[in-house]
Structure 1
Amino acid sequence: MKEFLQLKAFIFLASVVVVALAAPESCENECKNPGIRREWRSLGFNDQKAFADAIKCSLHWHLLSWHRLFLNTLENILRSECHYTGHLPFWDWTLGDYHDIKHSYLFNADPEVGFGAFPGPETNYTVTTGAFRNLIRAYPYTHRGQRNYTLRPFAYDPLLQANTTQTLEEWKKLVTGSVGNYTSFQYSVDGVRGEGVHIATHLSIGGDVAALSYSPNDVIFFLLHCQLDRLWAAWQGYSPQNRYAIGGGLTQDLLHYDTYPVGTGTPVTLDTVILLSNLAPNTKVKELMDTKGGVLCYEYEITGSTYM
């Protein structure tokens, strides 16, 4: 139950109780040539390898998971430190992967571009194949990446399957629902008891990515969260009422999550500042509400789960 409550703390950007619908003040950045974040399969071998090589170069950094800003920061690090010229890819599980996540195209053993096949108990669920098989993770202890797929990861409902959240139908429900209400949207994405697509995907993949404090140890984290950022962007674009909806509380009350599902304490506003330690400048929420404005300049490729 403790692990479940910790996983509930995965949130998109900030929690929401009060919805702010007014557009923020315009930011100076003009996004004239937005980068295109593409689905992993559309990259081709050379671009997949360039990403894998850049990630292996960059993982001496200790990265904090602050979602949209965090992903943008990672892109900048890959470019400045590892000479990467592409953009972060995303993993669109609605393309059919949800039928059999364990054998998805991404989780293959290719030593140059594969994310590694799911291991078994004979290796203590340590990933021994794929491009990242030899990466040593330093936190919370020295180890190689671990992964343990579980189709039914919910102790409170052992029959509930995680992949029921990953269908195209569920994606469309999330994009078109909760109009003007980010609280409802986030709650739907996470789920009342972790059964939403966000936490269900983390839990079912298992291993490092299922742990709150070190989930970025598994490189699949970045593709997973690009897909979730893409989902948020699609919801924002579905209705003018969604575009600048933000609010909530800065304190995540894990012991009373059902009462305060999107935080409590100091209200989050468009002027709330997000900190990423020394990885990036302090950034206000309003600078992150448009993927082609503020400090951002990218958009997503259209795939099976229509970018509405």
Structure 2
Amino acid sequence: MLSNTLWAALAVFGGLVNAGYPPDVVDKLAKNSMSKVKDWLAKNPQGECNLKTAIVRKEWSDLNKKQQKEYISAVLCLQSKPSKMSAEAPGAKSRFDDYVVVHVQQTMRNHGSTFFLPWHRLYLWHYENALRTECGYTGYQPYWNWDRYAKDPINSPLFDGSDTSMSGNGVFVPHAGVTIPTAPPPFDVIPPAEGGGCVTTGPFQNMSVNLGPLAPSLTDIKPNPQPDGLGYNPRCLRRDVNRNSAAVTTANYTYDLITNNKNMYWFQTTMEGQFPEGKWGVHSGGHYTVGGDPAGDFFVSPGDPVFWLHHAMIDRVWWIWQIQDLAKRLEDVSLTMTMMNMPPSRNGTLQDENNLGTLYGDVLTKDLMSTLGGMGGKLCYIYE
């Protein structure tokens, strides 16, 4: 048997960076569930989409350094291209900003509602496609396996500030932490961590955050010139990478989320969080692991490039949950048409429409349920 030292040496020689991350219980569940996917595809062929043709989305540290740098370059490219939505959002200066605009416009519709998971699947696919078609990216959207870095996120390959990271933490600025008004003590305050200021290391240290804030988690952010948050408000990227928040994203929480919730209502509700009961979800835990501005802002969080890796993990967890019982769960939708049913609205259905505003037209929820053949075959991917 090879020693850990030799395995590490071989990994470095081969260009890999994941030698220190053995499969966790969620990884093992996903791998052991692939036989169910094969059986389902045998009974329900999806045209040209199958396990041989499906693209594979991988974890950040399972990419080699060249692949990581290519992804980073594509994101920087998207940030350099002019906006297509500046007429409706004067603060949007880049194609990257366009995706923040869409999220701002639809935040109150696509969270705590029937649209949360299918809409974000469409959103993620469209962003991935933009990186590939507009910026020459040859890979696919990576995800952030929260468990790998939960104990020490600041020193992880994602946040260590190296040229193959998504940039580092913010400089330390004394602050009070994040208050969650709907949660009871002691869950209503996330203690501050070691950042809070501008990000000064890594590929995104010079990026400009142009939109928002609307629901800032820091108190010293200059207000947006427009009440809708879509005016031009340039400032630095700020983070407060926080292990207190990361503690609720370890693999045991994700595994329990997948295996203990048998219908969409409880799966999604548990994932998003039940703050009145003091129960965080992995969705909120991941966002607040990054914190700062804009990642700590409910509306403009896609303005931090790490958002996309977080939501790829959200989509991966949904995918793993779905493949436990594809026949049933590809048709399982829940909740209403409005966030937390405010104002009261009807239950969502598979026939409801999702869109990305002016970026992309209507797609029925039923066409976003499967990653293998959804949207007439445009969705054809799995997670590794």
Fold match (TM-score > 0.5): yes
Q: SS state of the match for residue 329, structure 2?
A: coil
Separation in 1 of the partners of 2:76 and 2:143?
Answer: 18
> How far, CA to CA, are the matches of 1:130 and 1:27 in structure 2?
44
1:116 match? 167
Match of 1:74? 127
**Deviation per CA, 1:62-91, whole angstroms, max 9, x where unpaired?**
103441100000011111110111100001
Residues 154 and 160 of structure 2 are in contact (CA less than 8 Å); yes or no, is this contact kept in structure 1? no
Contact 1:248/1:264 (<8 A) preserved? no
Any idea what the Cα deviations from partners look like across 1:239-293, whole Å, max 9, x if unmatched?
243332103211114xxxxxx49x8413311111101012223111111111111
Paired with 1:144 and 1:246, the residues of 2 have a C-alpha distance of 39
Aligned partner (choices 267, 273, 283) of residue 185 of structure 1: 267
Which of 156, 166, 172 does residue 104 from structure 1 map onto?
A: 156
> Aligned-pair distance for 1:135?
1.5
Provide the C-alpha distance between the structure 2 equivalents of 1:236 and 1:277, rounded to a whole number of angstroms. 27
Counterpart of 2:281 in structure 1 is 196
Rg (Cα) greater in structure: 2
Q: For the structure 1 residues 31 and 244, does the alpha-carbon distance in structure 2 shift closer, same or farther, using more than 3 Å as the test? A: same
**Which residue identity lines up with residue 192 of structure 1 in the other structure?**
Q
Unaligned stretches of 5+ in structure 2?
A: 1-43, 80-93, 104-118, 174-194, 213-232
> Residues 283 and 268 of structure 1: is their aligned pair in 2 closer, same or farther, counting only changes over 3 Å?
same
- Cα RMSD of the aligned pairs, angstroms, is 2.3
Give every structure 1 segment of 4 or more consecutive aligned residues whose post-TM-superposition deviation is greater than 4 Å.
26-29
The residue that corresponds to 1:94 in the other structure is: 147
Give the structure 2 partner of residue 17 of structure 1. Answer: none
Mark the CA change 1:223 to 1:99 in structure 2 (over 3 Å): closer, same or farther.
Answer: same
Aligned partner of 1:52: which letter?
I
Q: Distance in 2 between matches of 1:279 and 1:27?
A: 30
Query: Partner of 2:353 in structure 1?
Result: 273
Give, in whole Å, the separation in 1 of the partners of 2:46 and 2:145. Answer: 32
Unaligned runs of 5+ in 1: 1-25, 153-161, 254-259, 302-308
The two structures have a TM-score, normalised by structure 1, of: 0.78
From the superposition, tell whether residues 143 and 27 of structure 1 become closer, same or farther in structure 2 (CA, over 3 Å). farther
In the superposition, relative to structure 1, how do residues 214 and 29 fare at CA in structure 2: closer, same or farther (>3 Å)?
farther
Q: How many angstroms apart in 1 are the aligned matches of 2:304 and 2:135?
A: 19
2:176 counterpart residue number: none
The within-5 A match list for 1:284-303 is 284-295=364-375, 296-301=379-384
Shift of 1:27: 11
Aligned partners of 2:144 and 2:312 also within 8 Å: yes
CA distance in 2, matches of 1:151, 1:85: 33
Structure 2: how far apart are the matches of 1:119 and 1:206? 10
Distance in 2 (alpha carbons) for counterparts of 1:109 and 1:234: 31
> What is the deviation of 1:103?
2.1
SS at match of 1:212: coil
Counterpart of 2:299 in structure 1: which amino acid?
A: S
Instruction: Give, as a single letter, the amino acid of the residue that structure 2 aligns with 1:138.
Output: N
Q: Deviations over 1:136-180 (max 9, x none)?
A: 12112201211113444xxxxxxxxx333222221211111211x
Higher RCO by CA contacts (8 Å cutoff, separation 6 or greater): 1
Partner residue, 1:243: 330
CA shift, 1:29, in A, is 6.3
1:83 aligns with 2:170: no
Could you say what secondary structure the match of 1:120 adopts? strand
1:305 aligns to what? none
The one-letter code matched in structure 2 to 1:280 is Y
Q: How does 1:89-238 map to 2 (within 5 A)?
A: 89-95=142-148, 97-110=149-162, 112-121=163-172, 125-140=197-212, 141-152=233-244, 162-179=245-262, 181-193=263-275, 195-207=280-292, 208-238=294-324
Asked whether the 8 Å contact 1:27–1:287 carries over to 2, the reply is no
Normalising by structure 2, we get a TM-score of 0.63
Counterparts of 2:47 and 2:366, CA distance in 1:
13
Identity percentage over the alignment?
30
Mapped contact 2:146–2:286 kept (Cα < 8 A): no
Paired positions, count: 258
Does residue 31 in structure 1 map to residue 45 in structure 2?
A: no
Q: Corresponding residue for 1:306?
A: none
Equivalent in the alignment of 2:67: 47
